A and B are shown apart, each in its own frame.
Chain A
Amino acid sequence: MTTDRRWVALALIPAAAGVFGASVSWAGSHDPLAAAAPTTVAAPLRTLDPARIAQEQQMADLAAQVEATRLRIVELQAVLAAQTANAQVPAAPSPQQAAPAPAPAPKVQAVTGASG
């Protein structure tokens, strides 16, 4: 009889352990003093499209080219304005410098004039 009682006691150990574990777990989850655990919501993963990246890079490159061209135009306009101003205001000839000779008449094959 003693042996039988021993085997029953051994069999009840896992059951008791299970009840205990469940009790502890229940108590833990129902402890009013326990601090509320922060709730974090995982942000969705940002998926980057490689084609879009390439397109954005291309747009940036083109914008840079446009800006460089605009600056070049401004430079050329300044040069043109300077040249125009120089052409309209001929330099005063120095006293030693003779006026430029007018272009000679081109070679002619005939002359129309008085006859007879």
Chain B
Amino acid sequence: MTETRGTTTTSRPVATRTLRAMASPITLMVVEPGPSAQSCLDRAEAVIRDVAWTCTRFEPDSPLSRANAEPDSWHEVPATLGRAVQEAAGAHTSTAGLFDPRVLDLLLSWGYDRTLSFADGFVHDGAATVPKPDATGPWRPRVIERDGIWRIHLGGRQIDLGGIGKGLAVRWAASELAGAGSGFMVDAGGDCAFGGIGPEDTAWNVGVEDPAGGPEPLLVLALTDTGCATSSTRRLRWRSGGKAVHHLVDPRTGLPGGDGLAAVTVVAADPAWAEVWTKALFLAGAAGVRRRAESLGLAAAWVGDDGVVGSTGLLDALTIWRLDHG
């Protein structure tokens, strides 16, 4: 279901469209919409729905599901899936394997084989022990584009494009909204993109969610012409075989990663890469997240299981408000 509305309750008029896709509420907003704003919103929505359908593993007929069904074969796929696999391969290389879409095997063995009702406290009566991953080397999928025809080979393992898929949807939707007005926003929950000036005549004010469920954000950032993403275990966590698990799997151990961390937020020019870096930082755990974030030169914040918030200086420069715990 899609809803479009215009409003002037803010300092500047905006056109807003809301929809639900990729298991998330999506908000598209254009500030001071120009004549092409509605068609831009239409295209942005179409992009998001295309990614949602093409890259989902929860629909058996989706292009990704068909490729996953035979990961040792070549598949002719839509350009969207070809580009997404290409980006995922690049992320796998750039993160030295910390970003690895092959962790799908583990998620499936833990019972995450469909869209789950995590809010209700999902429990999977699976194996009592968490299985180790198969011995794996670097992931080397192959992607070929010729005359507009895209073919992929997944390298023998089925993959999950959930996180990076959403980041790419935000990136491509944002490119459709650029020029539709004096500013725009694509908000897909954890992954966002912001351009130009926000509706209050300032940069876009973006709250960083409290992973403990507190009503107020932990930080408020002032962002423009950039993306941001958050990886958090607040929602996607459940029990499997008597053990607590979550979706941020460390491919090196085959176990839920990020000891001592509840959430990581990264601000980066590209929302898809912001998403990738949140995972790479999360897997450093509370003990190593600062060093990794600073060595990578990232604007990042993290929240420990104890509720303590850390951040790099680059993110501090974007922070306009911080929750005072007293």
Contacts and interface: CB of A to CB of B under 8 A. Distances in A.
Interface of A: 102-103, 105-116
5 contacts: A106-B205, A106-B321, A109-B205, A111-B217, A113-B209
Nearest to A111: B207
B13 to A, nearest CB: 14
A110 B199 CA distance: 12
B265 A109 contact: no
Contacts of B320: 106
B47 interface: no
A110 B233 CA distance: 19
Interface string B152-187: 000000000010001000000000000000000101
Interface of B: 22-24, 27, 29, 162, 166, 185, 187-192, 194, 198-200, 204-211, 216-217, 220, 228-230, 232-236, 247, 263, 265, 320-321, 323-324, 326
Given A112-B228, A116-B236, 4 more contacts: A109-B206, A112-B191, A113-B210, A116-B190
Given A105-B321, A115-B24, A116-B189, A110 B236 contact: no
B206 A106 contact: no
Do most interface residues of chain A lie in helix, strand or loop, or is the interface mixed? Answer: loop
B234 A114 contact: yes
A14 B247 CA distance: 153
B321 A115 contact: no
A26 B233 CA distance: 137
B199 A109 contact: yes
A53 B16 CA distance: 80
Contacts of B191: 112, 115
